[in-house]
Structure 1
Amino acid sequence: MLHPIRIGAVTAALLVAAGCSRSMSPYSDNGPPPLAPVPTGQVAANQLPPPPPPPPPGDGFGNGETMSSDAEMSPGGNQGDLSASPDQNTQVASASRPALSRNSVLGAYKVTTDGGNCQIILSLTKWSGGYRAASRGCPGKVADVSAWDVSGSQVVLKDSAGTNVANLNSSGDARYEGRTTGGQSITLYR
């Protein structure tokens, strides 16, 4: 007796499920109405204008501002004095080493240093001691780099207190070589 009841219950459930799956569509059995055609026309193929010219050399800002003079950047104001001692970290741009601009230096670099390889990113975000720098996986004093700036023909890497960590000279296309204040050799390149 339970068997016919089960069959009846299952049949009723199937009919209800079949009735639920069939809904009345406002589009009847033909599906949705067709979409309006997209307007067609000629596609223009023009050349893009040439890119704007790069900023003039030595102008690291691109907006007419010029970098501070070396004398303004030095606490002693003797950057241009050739008789200053090398211990005072004074550097003068010479004909063989033209002054660098911040824009020409900023970006990501691979770093080779005594003790391993790592990465340094130099940005133009103002930071204590100059502009923001971030080192990644660097050993020794290079791990302390958190700021940078350009001084004449040198790239100066600094720690968060603004203390010099390394002075680097340009040695070619996007390559800078020097030593940390602790004597560790360091090369930045792309």
Structure 2
Amino acid sequence: MKHPVRFAAVSLALLAAAGCSRSMSPYSDNSPPPLTPVPSGQVASNQLPPPPPPPPPSNDTVTSPDQVATDLETTPGTATGDQPATEPKNTQVASVSQPALSRNSVLGAYKVTTDGGNCQIILSLTKWSGGYRAASRGCPGKVADVSAWDVSGGQVLLKDSGGSNVANLSSAGKARYEGRTTGGQAITLYR
């Protein structure tokens, strides 16, 4: 007889505890409002337009020989004989003030224009096979293989992961480099 009484007492205690654990009646209208569903729809994606073409090379620091010849003025009858004398209209010729090409001067992110389209290249100073680490983004043709770079002999060398040259570029003004890939494709880096 002890067991049925004990069983009943434990059952009543569990029922009381279960009834006390809920402070709200399941039938009351005090429940929080339902959450609004997240709108679902189709996600659209479009291709970005290509970057703008590079600016033309600037002639701020270099005067070409043709421009110097045009700046000379001829004054007839001042030389001996029948030959006219030439007097310079502007005797000041711009000097080349291009800083020496170094890794630190080339380092950074560039916009790239090639025969196949436009893209970006980032040149860092992290050691890599063939020189230093480079990353191309969205580049066409051989330029997509660029993964290393270096400076040698006054040129910027772009290389693939095996260390083979992809392109050789020469300075064409402030933060602008022009050249050709090994396949003959024109390439310009600028910022």
TM-score, length basis structure 1: 0.49
Greater strand fraction, Structure 1 or Structure 2: 2
Rg comparison, structure with higher value:
2
